[in-house]
Amino acid sequence: MIQGIILDLDGVICDTAKFHFEAWKRLAEDYGYSLTEADNEALKGVSRVDSLKFILQKANTTLSSDQFEIDLVRKNQWYLELVQEMDSSFLLDGVADFFEKAISLNIPLALGSASKNANLVLEKVGLLNKFNAIVDANLVVNGKPHPETFLKAAELIQIAPENCMVFEDSASGVQAAVSGKMFVVGIGTQNDLPLANYCIPNLGAFDFNTL
Ligand code: BG6
Ligand code: MG
């Protein structure tokens, strides 16, 4: 029985996946590599450090450890420039209604995000005070696909993992939730997220009667 809901942020709540892509694409150009849509799909849910490692491998290049750190900061600065422009209009379809419904049903809500910018983004879109718990990349040792992010979120809302439903748009996040023994609703297509229990295009398509 589902008693708690855990939501990913980028690509589930707001349209920030495209900002991450834009900023990584800009950085990858410095390495002479043109980031593809398939790369973008693979990078969803992946931590900042692991994303840069992935891109360097694709570009067949390496960086000194100092330059690696500098480039992480450059990417994040470009990303934050895009985030500065955000407001509630950047919420994906049906998100506001989803929150209203979940809160009216008294279902505990947690965030389980791989981003270190989660609090800022939630503040920008006006949802920061809607969560019972927020777990982001600052709070965990092991990023997705490791289940730690979601297990910690479940622990904070005091719901057993098997009674939690996770909403995720990334393959690594779906894997993390499956490893945590949670029920996973994919945001996207079953083709991109084959391990999800089922997929819907956005939170607006979720039917609370199925809980
Ligand atoms: C995830 C995104 O939510 O967070 C990834 O899907 C991103 O694309 C990752 O790289 C880390 O985000 P940040 O904000 O800490 O650089
Ligand atoms: Mg995501």
Dist. CA 155–CA 6, nearest whole Å: 11
Instruction: For ligand 1, atom 8, name the residue with the nearest CA.
Output: 44
146 CA from centroid of ligand 1 (Å)? 15
Provide the token pair at 33. 């590599």
- 211 CA → ligand 1 middle, Å: 29
Q: Which of 8, 39, 136, 169 is catalytic?
A: 8
Alpha-carbon span 118 to 166, nearest angstrom: 17
How large a percentage of the chain has pLDDT more than 90? 100
Question: Do the strands 164-168 and 183-187 form a parallel or antiparallel pair, or are they unpaired?
Answer: parallel
> What is the predicted pLDDT for the residue at 109?
98
Residue with tokens 């996973």: 184
Residues 6+ apart with CB under 8 A from 73: none
Query: How far apart (Å, rounded) are the C-alpha atoms in residues 110 and 155?
Result: 10
Determine the pLDDT at residue 8: 98
What confidence score (pLDDT) does residue 119 get? Answer: 98
Alpha-carbon gap, residue 193 to 52, rounded angstroms: 22
pTM for this entry: 0.96
User: Do residues 121 and 145 make contact, with C-beta atoms less than 8 angstroms apart?
Assistant: no
Judge contact between 119 and 13, C-beta under 8 A: no
Residues of the chain with pLDDT under 50: none
Quick one: what percent of the chain has pLDDT higher than 70?
Answer: 100
Which pLDDT does position 116 carry in this prediction?
98
pLDDT for the residue 209: 96
Domains defined for the chain, CATH in brackets: 4-15+88-210 (3.40.50.1000), 17-83 (1.10.150.240)
Which DSSP symbol is given to 23? H
Q: How many CB atoms lie within 10 A of CB 43?
A: 21
Q: What is the pLDDT of residue 48?
A: 97
Pocket of ligand 1 from Cβ distances under 6 Å: 9-10, 17, 20, 43-48, 51, 76, 113-117, 137, 170
